Chains A and B, each alone.
Chain A
Amino acid sequence: MSMQVILAQALLGLNVGVFYAMLSLGLAVIFGLLNIINFAHGAMYMLGAFIALIGYSLLEQWFGISLQIGFWASLLVAPLIVGILGVTIERFMLKRLYDLDHIYGLLLTFGITLILQGLFANYFNVSGTPYPGQPESLSGVVNLGFMYFPTYRLFAIIFSLVVCFATWYVIEHTKLGSRLRAGVENPDLTQAFGLNVPLMITLTFAFGAGLAGLAGVLAAPIYSVSPLMGADLIIVVFAVVVIGGMGSIMGAILSGLALGLIEGLTKVFYPPAASTVIFFLMVLVLLFRPAGLFGKEK
């Protein structure tokens, strides 16, 4: 087996890995900072992709608005809309469940997922609709020496990595991040100091949801936009979060990338195991290091 094939498959794996990383990062931010297991994260990813699709090709047909929201604008608009949906969900629904066990939040967000999926399945083909708005400047391929790689996919990898590491930097190395971490550790005292913790919670949830929406827009030109695209991915992403360590920001990013790579390389060495290797690793991690590779034991 040539090195070329391995490198090519590794890069394709990394391409999948950045989506795992972005989604698990959003989940980890929400879980780590708010202790909410947001099952609706996959639906928010799906919603991001649909907002890009609708904004590009259906605004006139559906709403009679002669406006086309291109790919670049979607990178801003979709996370914003999904973030606002996040605010609504947190403020009006999840907030009522904070005093109860985590499982209630999970059930609520699971319900929201089914509603959103059902809603979109009503209007769109479940097998997927192609997104036609990929920008001209990102079409074609780039010669990487060992392979020709689609320009758009390379852009998606670099863009996602920048977003992931910028998020990590903000949380771990800025004043805003230290306030968020303080709010998680001791919300009462943080409020007594004069910081508005409930607002911080809402905005963090919105940010995590927005990240999922952003990943959805990035995914739209690569995968078909489908009502079930989030449902297929969210289970894997939960496994990624468990492997990285619930709530660990860097753990979510690194294990997302690494597991994408491992999945890609498994396709080279033993293709039948490619779709299950992540779950196999999850079982091992749960058995031998239940807090995850980067998580801290409580």
Chain B
Amino acid sequence: MQPDQRPEMLKIENLHAWYGESHILHGLDLTLREGEVITLLGRNGSGRTTTLKSILGLVSKRTGSIKIHGTEIINMPTHRIAHVGKLGYCPEERGIFASLNVDENLELPPVVADGGMSVDEIYKMFPNLEERRKSQGSKLSGGEQQMLAIARILRTGANLLLLDEITEGLAPVILKSLDDVIRKLRDRGFTIILVEQNFRFAAPLADRHYVIEHGRVVEQIEAADLEAKKEQLNRHLSV
């Protein structure tokens, strides 16, 4: 099936978002089809993380339209969105709970849909974590925390993954493992939004790239056009 014939999973139209008095997103539009991997690129403060947080209802105010599987979630309370959208979130700061051990962190998010990976499957995918099952979250290395942050949303049956800066501060050897993980997830049919600073990491993984500036999408680049539009992209991303 061609990517553009796949059903729409997420459709964002004219999204505005605020943190208190600060108006961060200014009419953002974005479409994501089932099984696609897209990246949100842009400079710091452009609104990429806020886009993910707006989908989840973690901003103080949002207007416009966010539909997941055709269901409008713009006015939905945060705790219902993961269930309705079959959605898993890996935050920028990883969000590993220091007071919980690896097993407890892994089993914390509730199941939102059938078909999630079993704990055994997850430990097979992340063998390092299995060795540290009883360690407190605060005792894990950065790489282990990142793996755990991704692992725990795979148990829930979520098929739309929002991954925010998962490569930040990690050593090259860990990046290689993360690259493997994302490829495996893509092959399993997960739909993924990657917010990334590390364009080298994200470029080979994504079907499409959205460049965000001042809270709106200024460029949409298909993976096939990436080479041709490289200069344009560099201009947007250069500081």
Q: Do A and B bind each other?
A: yes
- A144 sits at the interface (CB 8 A): no
Q: Which of A128-136, A191-199, A257-265 contacts the other chain?
A: A191-199
Q: Which of A154-162, A182-190, A204-212 contacts the other chain?
A: A182-190
- A96 sits at the interface (CB 8 A): no
A295–chain B nearest beta-carbon distance, Å: 13
Across the interface, A193 reaches (CB within 8 A) one of B77, B89, B100, B104, namely B89
B156–chain A nearest beta-carbon distance, Å: 8
Q: Given A186-B95, A188-B78, A190-B108, 12 other A-B contacts at CB below 8 A? A: A189-B89, A191-B78, A192-B58, A192-B81, A192-B82, A192-B89, A193-B89, A193-B109, A194-B80, A194-B110, A194-B156, A195-B79
- Taking a contact as CB atoms under 8 Å apart, the answer to whether A181 and B78 are in contact is no
Known: A193-B89, A195-B79. A181 touches B99 (CB 8 A): yes
- Taking a contact as CB atoms under 8 Å apart, the answer to whether A178 and B58 are in contact is no
Known: A175-B107, A188-B58, A189-B91. A194 touches B100 (CB 8 A): no
- B98 sits at the interface (CB 8 A): yes
- A289 sits at the interface (CB 8 A): no
User: How many CB-defined contacts (below 8 Å) exist between A and B?
Assistant: 58
**Residues of A in contact, count (CB < 8 Å):** 18
- A91 sits at the interface (CB 8 A): no
- Taking a contact as CB atoms under 8 Å apart, the answer to whether B97 and A196 are in contact is no
- Taking a contact as CB atoms under 8 Å apart, the answer to whether B97 and A194 are in contact is no
- Taking a contact as CB atoms under 8 Å apart, the answer to whether B82 and A193 are in contact is yes
- A179 sits at the interface (CB 8 A): yes
Please measure, in the bound complex, the distance between the C-alpha atom of A188 and the C-alpha atom of B97, giving whole angstroms: 12
A82–chain B nearest beta-carbon distance, Å: 27
- B112 sits at the interface (CB 8 A): yes
B97–chain A nearest beta-carbon distance, Å: 5
Please measure, in the bound complex, the distance between the C-alpha atom of A197 and the C-alpha atom of B112, giving whole angstroms: 16
Closest to A196 in B: B79
Question: Can you sample 15 A-B contacts with CB below 8 Å?
Answer: A178-B108, A182-B100, A184-B99, A185-B97, A186-B97, A189-B89, A189-B95, A191-B78, A192-B56, A192-B81, A192-B89, A193-B109, A194-B79, A194-B109, A195-B79
Please measure, in the bound complex, the distance between the C-alpha atom of A175 and the C-alpha atom of B89, giving whole angstroms: 20
- Taking a contact as CB atoms under 8 Å apart, the answer to whether B112 and A194 are in contact is yes
**Chain B contacts for A193, CB-based, 8 A:** 82, 89, 108-110, 153, 156
Closest to A199 in B: B79
Q: Taking each of A178, A186, A193, which has the highest tally of chain B beta carbons within 10 Å of its own beta carbon? A: A193
Complex interface bits, B33-61 against A, C-beta within 8 A gives 1, otherwise 0 = 00000000000000000000000101000
- B83 sits at the interface (CB 8 A): yes
Closest to A194 in B: B82
**Chain B contacts for A195, CB-based, 8 A:** 79, 109-110
Closest to A181 in B: B99
The 4 closest A-B pairs by CB, nearest first: A194-B82, A193-B109, A191-B78, A178-B104
Please measure, in the bound complex, the distance between the C-alpha atom of A184 and the C-alpha atom of B77, giving whole angstroms: 18
Please measure, in the bound complex, the distance between the C-alpha atom of A186 and the C-alpha atom of B110, giving whole angstroms: 16
**Chain A contacts for B109, CB-based, 8 A:** 193-195
**Chain B contacts for A186, CB-based, 8 A:** 95, 97
**Chain A contacts for B79, CB-based, 8 A:** 191, 194-197
- Taking a contact as CB atoms under 8 Å apart, the answer to whether A179 and B108 are in contact is yes
Complex interface bits, B69-113 against A, C-beta within 8 A gives 1, otherwise 0 = 000000001111111000001010001011110001001111010
- Taking a contact as CB atoms under 8 Å apart, the answer to whether A185 and B98 are in contact is yes
B161–chain A nearest beta-carbon distance, Å: 12
**Chain A contacts for B97, CB-based, 8 A:** 181-182, 185-186
Q: Taking each of B78, B99, B153, which has the highest tally of chain A beta carbons within 10 Å of its own beta carbon? A: B78
Please measure, in the bound complex, the distance between the C-alpha atom of A8 and the C-alpha atom of B202, giving whole angstroms: 72
- Taking a contact as CB atoms under 8 Å apart, the answer to whether B108 and A182 are in contact is yes
A271–chain B nearest beta-carbon distance, Å: 42
Please measure, in the bound complex, the distance between the C-alpha atom of A192 and the C-alpha atom of B112, giving whole angstroms: 12
